[in-house]
Structures are given as structure tokens and as C-alpha cells.
Amino acid sequence: MKKRLLILTLLFWNATSLLAESGYRLWMRYDLVINEEQRGEYINLLKNIAMKTPSASLRAASQELEQGLSGLLGRKIPVVVSGITAGSIVAGTPLSSTIIKGLKLNIRLETLGEEGYLLSSIVYQSKKVTVIAANSDIGVMYGVFHLLRLIQTNQSVSDLNITDQPRLKYRVLNHWDNLDRTVERGYAGFSLWNWHTLPGYVQQRYVDYARANASIGINGTVLTNVNANSLILTDEYLPKVAAIANVLRPYGIKVYLTARFSSPIELGKLKTADPLNEEVKKWWKDKTDEIYTYIPDFGGFLVKANSEGQPGPQSYGRSHADGANVLADALAPHKGIVMWRAFVYSNDKPEDRFKQAFNEFKPLDGQFRANVMVQVKNGPIDFQPREPFSPLFGAMPKTPLMMEFQITQEYLGQGTHLVYQAPLYKEVLDADTYTKGKGSTVAKVIDGSLDNHSISGMAGVANIGDDLNWTGHLFGQSNWYAFGRLAWNHELSSIAIADEWTRMTFTNDTRFVQTVKGIMMNSRENLVNYMTPLGLHHIMGWDHHYGPGPWIKDKPRADWTAFYYHKADRTAIGFDRTASGSNALSQYAPEVSSFYGDLKTCPPEYLLWFHRLPWTYQLKDGKSLWESLCQRYQFGAASMEGVQKDWNSIAGIIDQERFEQVKMLLAIQKEEVWWWHDACLAYFQSRSELPFPARITAPKKSLEFYENQVFHFVPGI
Ligand code: GCV
């Protein structure tokens, strides 16, 4: 009878999960643990949830635990308010739980900060119980998600002794979502935020968004595009923002908005937005106070100023620090922060775009208020498949610098390429700036440990939209996941994150996990090879950035063309950023500058970022630059065959629906990969005028064909 019940339960879970296999459940699936032995262990150890829920966060945490465990263990795991038994999960803070208070865990808790937690297997009054304890309700929530993750990834929970806390204080998604619901560089449908039906209609999707973010430790979200619309600051929109904030609050997520610098003129009808003007200062103060009446825990502002046409303080002869500080002063009484972007460059300046952000911001070090963070993109240009780290990291020791990564794949195959970005993020975080000697990694700059900052943060440009599976490509979910996990702990390895994501999202089946991890871990390097090998950069299609466009030249802005960056002609290719060229390398510490500047040490991956070299230049492996370039394109494009084969080899292990989703996109990716290969090789051959080396597939069509392709309605513009 018992066995029949179990089979029925299994059938039920399989049936429901099969019906709903769109990918909507992300990595929070909570399907029955298939491994019976493992499930037996969990059933013995986790029988009920002893938890008081005086706050919305604790209620949400207990619901998550109840829902998660009941699904994973195939039986109801109830929440009990009293009566500890063997197998209770005792969860709470010293304030919410007298048991936790009585356990004298306080000393251990003290070291865990505001958001940390501990998971511990202990014997309490002769009963074996599992404790989830934290100093704050949100810490308990994070502990709950950790326990669920252990079970989802089939790890033992019988002898827990885990403590954890985030390395960074602000772990923030940046939505580039417009008020008309289009998403700049968004490839997963329209914006999640349905401004039209807010505040009255609060979708379940907002709650699920909050759950997903909390599960990976994200604690802030900027709802609107950095190319900002000041309407968001009006009393038409603020109640809508407040409604979203109300949903996110229990999950520890604060809401931030982008502030258009000219708002005092557009909304306040002032004649100026000069940050030193008294009326302007008052306008920002009043506006900020007003925002806090709607959203008492409002996080603050993110600002893009004097960049790509956005208004800013420089229009009034003021500096970025003057601009940031006027907002910072308005936010300070409420404990809000300003995230001021360093993504600035101008085509009118006769200076290498690489150098411009550094040139503008470094002299401002020490001039920002204490509640300002300067948000710096990972590389000096713009989220390319591979960039050296931005020289600003380590160069502004008096200013907390916030990392900005792009999760959405603007330059990484947009919505159709499977690219796991953790290796890209890690490459940057682990890079050594040498600004305070060896070991001054970018990670230590942004976590504040190198220069003793009390605030620190990481931002990720979101890849989320209203597509059923949230991110368009199922594997886009892995990048959202990896961003959150690394913002929590930048020491995690890419492969460890890939492992947990794959297990939680798909299955613990060993063959499946191994195969998918292999695909993921190679995907970024493959992409670099088929798009921008040897340090090429910014050679994508004009404006929409879709597909290859190395021929883009003679446009109104040189720094938006491809030619600006590679300058390929019959003799040579690459951007000379050594002392004989733009000398951008001088912005790095001497160790870094000489490493990249010296051809003997510069890794091939960065060659054309820093050097202009003849096509015949011989690399360390004996190949010429031209041969190597062709072979890398070939290698990158050919890799897709293996990827498809690997994916097909695991057919039948997961549900058909998600399997097919990925399979179809891999087929599109394969076509696009060869398009990159063909178009780039056709173009670069027209420059080098050299024959293709042996075993290089010749482009299928003429260069003209690729140059003349027109694409209508490419998403994300
Ligand atoms: C939000 C690049 C993108 C723009 C984006 C900009 C930025 O230029 O193409 O779409 O604008 O970066 O980060 O501000």
C-alpha cells in the first residue's frame, strides 16, 4: 500500500512537472528527490519546521521551506510553532525564537553580520535537530535557501556545521527596462514591470522574481533603464514603484531607481539642473523625501550622466562628483546610496575611448560623499566577450567602486547563444591590479578589503523579461544565477556554480550533470574564438549589435565603429595601446602595463587589445597572426558540432520540453556561429589579402553579401 502511494506520488510529481516544464520554475523546482537512500536520510532528519513567523520575511522563509521540503521529500513537512521533536528544523533569530536565543549561539552569530546565517546539526534536549539561525530575518531566509540547495543537489544534511555571509553589501540587478515595457538590450520579451496595471494588479511573477533573487542573495534591484525617463519620479509612477517594493521587501530586496539628471528642469520646471544651484539642491531633497513617503526603505539612485547623450553635471561646468553629491546629500538622511556610473566617453575627444573613463574619474578620487559608489563596467570599453579589467579598479582607493557586469548578452550572442558567463566574471574578479602589490585583485577592490571601505557592491545588467522561462534562453538562467552567487561570494568557482545550477535546474543524474558542465565551461572560450579571437573587440553589427560587422566604418561616431578598434589594413591589425600608440597601458600599475605591453608576455587572448601587429607576426606557437586568427575562428565555429552532439547524447534524461527548447536554440546558434566565422574571415581576408591556411573552411558567400544583410526589428534596441 505504502509502495503504491509512493508510486502515485511520483507519478503526480512527474506529471505536474512535465505539464509545467517551460522553465518558469528556474532553479527552485523542488521536485521529488529521486535517490531513495538520500531521500530516506532527509525524511529522517527533516520532519517539521519549528519556526515562529512574526515578520513577513520569516513567513516567506517558512513558506519556502515548507513548499520546498514538501516537494523534495514527497510528503507534507508542516510548520509547527511549538513542540520540538527529533527531526525538527529550528529556524529563526534570537529575537524570534526562544530556542535559538537559549542555544547560546550568539557568539557565533555575532561574527556573521546582518545577513549571514548558520546551519547546524545539534542535539537539543536529547533530540537531533537542524538549526537555521541568523541575526536578522533575512539571514534566516538565506539559510533556508542554503538548506534547500543542499537537498536539491543531493548533499548530506546529517552533520551540518556551516556558516556563511556575503562578501559584498550591495548585490544589485540593473534592469534596463523602459516605461513602455521595451527592454534595452533585453532578449527575453518585454519588461517584467507592467506599469499599466500597477499598483492595483500585483502579479505572482513579482513574488517569484523576489524568491529567485533571494535564493541567490541578491538584495537590490534598479527597476528602470539607465537611459532614464524622469516620469518614474512622479506621483503617477511612485505608487507603482511602491507596490513592487512591497512585494520585494520580505525577500530582503530594496528598490532603486534611475535618476535622470535633468529632472529638476523636466519635472520641477526649474531653469537649470546645475548641481550647485540652491533650488536644484532643494528640488532633489524634496523629491527624495517624497520618494521615501512612498517607499520607506528606498535604496537610492543609479545615474548615467554625460554619457551617450544623457544629461549630466558637465553641461553646467560641474564634475561627476558635484553631480553625485547633490543626490547623495538628499539620500543621506534616509540612508540611501548613489551608484554613479563611470561609463563615460565622448567621440569628440581625440583620445582612445579606452582611456576616457579613467581620465575623468581618477582625478575625482576622494571627492565623493560617503554614500556614493562609482559603478565601473568590468572592462574599459563595453561588455565585450573578453576585455582586460578596467584600469579604474585599484586606481581610486578613496572611493568605493562597484562592479558592473552585464548578464544580458548584448555582445555575447544575445538571446540565441548558450554562453555561461561565470568564467568571464571570474576572470575579471581574479585579475590582479597590482595597485597595492601582488594580490590586489579586482575582487579585493570591489569588496572593499583592499582599501578598507565599509560599502561595497556588484551590479548585473539583468537578462530577465516576461518570457515564460524568464531569460529567453534557458541557459541565460545560469548567468542570472552565477551573478547572484558571485556577488554573494566571489571566491566560488565557475564550475562549482555550474554544478549546483545544473543539478537544481535539471537533474542530479551524473551523466547529465557532467555533460552539461562541460558544455557550459567551454562555452565562453568558444564564443571568444568564433567572435573576437586574439583580442579583437567591438566588431559587431551596427546599432543593434546583432551578428558580425567588422567592416563598420565611416559612421557619425568613429568610436561606435568596428574599424576604430582593429584598423585592419594590408599590413597590420590591432590597436596599439603601448607607449608608441595611445599609451592606455600607462593607466595600469607598472606590473600590469609591462605584462600586457611586452609582446613576450602578453597572452594571445589580449594581443590585439594592446598591439598593432603585422599579419605575418609570429606567435609563440610558431603560427603567424593570420593563421592563428583563421584557426581560432575555425575552432570556435567547429565547436558547435560537439556541443550539439553532447546535448543530443543526454536526450531522454530530462523533460522533452526544455530539452527541445535548448536543442532548437543550439541549431540557431550553430548557424550564427558559422555566420560569424564566414563574415569575419571574408572581411579580414579582404584586408590581409592572404590565402586561407589549410583546413580553414572558406566563407560560403562573398563579403558583399555579409555586408549588405539587413535585419528588421532586432530585439533589444
Ligand atoms: C543603456 C552600451 C549599450 C547601450 C547601453 C550603454 C550603457 O552602449 O549598447 O544600450 O545603454 O552601453 O551601458 O549605458
- DSSP assignment of 129-193: EEEEEESSHHHHHHHHHHHHHHHHTT---TT-EEEE--S-SEEEEE--B-TTS-BTT--SSS-S-
382 lines ligand 1 (CB under 6 A): yes
Listed in sequence order, the residues at least 6 apart from 416 whose beta carbon sits closer than 8 Å to its beta carbon are 473, 665, 668, 669, 672
Give pLDDT tens digits for 377-413: 999 999 999 999 999 999 999 999 999 999 999 999 9
Distance 322 CA to ligand 1 centre (A): 23
Instruction: Supply the DSSP string of 221-252, one letter for each residue.
Output: EE-S-SS--GGGGSTTTHHHHHHHHHHHGGGT
411 lines ligand 1 (CB under 6 A): no
Distance 545 CA to ligand 1 centre (A): 11
274 lines ligand 1 (CB under 6 A): no
Distance 280 CA to ligand 1 centre (A): 27
Listed in sequence order, the residues at least 6 apart from 382 whose beta carbon sits closer than 8 Å to its beta carbon are 343, 411, 538
Specify the amino acid at residue 463.
Answer: N
Q: Which DSSP state fits 438?
A: T
Please report the atom of ligand 1 found closest to the CA of residue 176.
1
Q: Judge contact between 176 and 226, C-beta under 8 A.
A: yes
The Cα-based distances of 188 to 22, 93, 464, 468 in angstroms read 14, 39, 6, 9
Residue 108 has a pLDDT of 82
Give pLDDT tens digits for 664-698: 999 999 999 999 999 999 999 999 999 999 999 99
What is the fold, at CATH topology level, of the domain defined by 2-164? Chitobiase; domain 2 (3.30.379)
Please report the atom of ligand 1 found closest to the CA of residue 185.
10
CB atoms within 10 A of CB 13: 17
Residue 20 has a pLDDT of 67
Q: Which three cell numbers stand for residue 596?
A: 600586457
176 lines ligand 1 (CB under 6 A): yes
- Strands (E) across 548-597 are located at 572-573
353 lines ligand 1 (CB under 6 A): no
- Beta pairing partners, 376: 403
Give pLDDT tens digits for 442-492: 999 999 999 999 999 999 999 999 999 999 999 999 999 999 999 999 999
184 lines ligand 1 (CB under 6 A): yes
Q: Which DSSP state fits 696?
A: P
Residue 13 has a pLDDT of 47
Residue 15 has a pLDDT of 46
Look at the alpha carbons of 74, 657, 464, 296 in this order and tell me if their dihedral is positive or negative: negative
Residue 244 has a pLDDT of 98
Distance 449 CA to ligand 1 centre (A): 29
Give phi and psi for 455, each to the nearest 5: -115, 150
CB atoms within 10 A of CB 410: 23
Distance 459 CA to ligand 1 centre (A): 14
Give the CB-side neighbour count of residue 334, counting CA atoms within 13 A: 25
Please report the atom of ligand 1 found closest to the CA of residue 225.
1
- Residue 348 or 414, more confident: 414
Asked whether residue 622 carries a pLDDT value surpassing 70, the answer given is yes
Give pLDDT tens digits for 203-243: 999 999 999 999 999 999 999 999 999 999 999 999 999 99
Distance 518 CA to ligand 1 centre (A): 31
Question: Which sequence spans correspond to the domains of the chain?
Answer: 2-164, 170-505, 529-575+612-707
At which residue does the C-alpha cell 533589444 appear?
A: 716
Ligand 1 pocket mutation, candidates 174, 302, 341, 382, criterion most atoms within 8 A of CB: 382
Q: How far apart are CA 500 and CA 519, in angstroms?
A: 15
529-575+612-707 homologous superfamily: Alpha-glucuronidase, C-terminal domain (3.90.1330.10)
Ligand 1 pocket mutation, candidates 174, 175, 185, criterion most atoms within 8 A of CB: 185
Q: Given the DSSP bridges, would you call strands 401-406 and 300-303 parallel, antiparallel or unpaired? A: unpaired
Burial of 499 (0-12, 13-18, 19+ CB in 10 A): middle
Write down the pTM of the prediction.
Answer: 0.97
Specify the amino acid at residue 549.
Answer: G
Nearest CA to ligand 1 atom 2: 382
Catalytic residues: 308, 382, 410
**Taking the domain 170-505, which CATH number applies?**
3.20.20.80
How confident is residue 25, by pLDDT bands cut at 50, 70 and 90?
very high
229 lines ligand 1 (CB under 6 A): no
Asked whether residue 103 carries a pLDDT value surpassing 90, the answer given is no
Query: What is the H or E stretch that residue 265 is in?
Result: helix 263-266
Residue 349 has a pLDDT of 87
304 lines ligand 1 (CB under 6 A): yes
343 lines ligand 1 (CB under 6 A): yes
Give pLDDT tens digits for 627-647: 999 999 999 999 999 999 999
Look at the alpha carbons of 484, 488, 494, 495 in this order and tell me if their dihedral is positive or negative: negative
Give phi and psi for 104, each to the nearest 5: 55, 40
182 lines ligand 1 (CB under 6 A): no
Nearest CA to ligand 1 atom 11: 227
DSSP SS3 for 474? coil
Q: Find the angle CA(254)-CA(368)-CA(457) to the nearest 5 degrees.
A: 35
Please report the atom of ligand 1 found closest to the CA of residue 410.
9
226 lines ligand 1 (CB under 6 A): yes
177 lines ligand 1 (CB under 6 A): no
Residue 12 has a pLDDT of 46
Asked whether residue 544 carries a pLDDT value surpassing 50, the answer given is yes
Q: How far apart are CA 423 and CA 567, in angstroms?
A: 29
Q: Given the DSSP bridges, would you call strands 161-164 and 117-124 parallel, antiparallel or unpaired? A: antiparallel
Average pLDDT over the chain, rounded to an integer: 96
Please report the atom of ligand 1 found closest to the CA of residue 307.
14
Please report the atom of ligand 1 found closest to the CA of residue 404.
13
The Cα-based distances of 25 to 171, 206, 279, 658 in angstroms read 22, 13, 49, 12
Please report the atom of ligand 1 found closest to the CA of residue 310.
14
Q: Given the DSSP bridges, would you call strands 48-50 and 88-92 parallel, antiparallel or unpaired? A: parallel
Distance 182 CA to ligand 1 centre (A): 14
Q: Given the DSSP bridges, would you call strands 79-80 and 300-303 parallel, antiparallel or unpaired? A: unpaired
Q: How far apart are CA 710 and CA 373, in angstroms?
A: 41
